[in-house]
Amino acid sequence: MKKIAVLLSGCGVFDGSEIYETVITLLAIERNGASYQCFAPNKDQFHVIDHHAQQPVSETRNVLTEAARLARGNVKPLHDLKVHEFDALIIPGGFGAAKNFSDFAVKGADAAADQDVVAFCQQFAAAKKPAGYMCIAPSLLPFVYGHGIQLTIGNDNDTAQALEQLGAKHIDCAVSDIVVDEQHRVVTTPAYMLAGSLSEAASGIDKLVAKVLSLATTD
């Protein structure tokens, strides 16, 4: 049975992992006959958002602790990764991927990434194991793979330009489709960068998970 590492950035679309994307991902992994283990960095979130008011609040929360809400408690810190035990990596979106993994959400093309997160992801790259990044999570890819990595965040021109300034090659993509960088074995899909419903998000996420698992079978 293939085993997938799933990297979470907290819990909640505005300051952590997008809950719908994460659940769809975990379900798709199981439906494809694979298993998963969730991971998250043990650090404070960039900030905390009141998801009802959609405003920041004066509060501090830990990414790992919040991710445990989403993973039903079964989440490990980054340093627990033994990359040889896994066949692939998948990262759901949500603004946490661009706030807690890097500061892309606030600095765009001038962003810097969390080096512990980058090192975690680079273990899969170094082992030539496939990876899937969705929604805004592909903003981390230039830091992991360097210049020339092919990816999509959908069709938002300003975000695409910022990613290209960081060294990525952006490809416009429909919500129901995926972009595959064959050289780096990386799969991306827009998910809620474009989706207007659960079913629309699932249409691309299901393809991403299936493709990542198919690439893993060639190891």
Counted domains in the chain: 1
Structural domain for 165, as ranges: 3-216
Tell me the two tokens of residue 178.
């995926």
Question: Any catalytic annotation for residue 173?
Answer: no
The sign of the CA dihedral 124, 125, 129, 131 is: positive
pLDDT tens digit string along 127-184?
Answer: 999 999 999 999 999 999 999 999 999 999 999 999 999 999 999 999 999 999 999 9
pLDDT tens digit string along 82-121?
Answer: 999 999 999 999 999 999 999 999 999 999 999 999 999 9
What CATH number did the domain enclosing 133 receive? Answer: 3.40.50.880
Selecting among 38, 121, 135, 173, the annotated active-site residue is 135
Cβ count near 38 (within 10 Å): 23
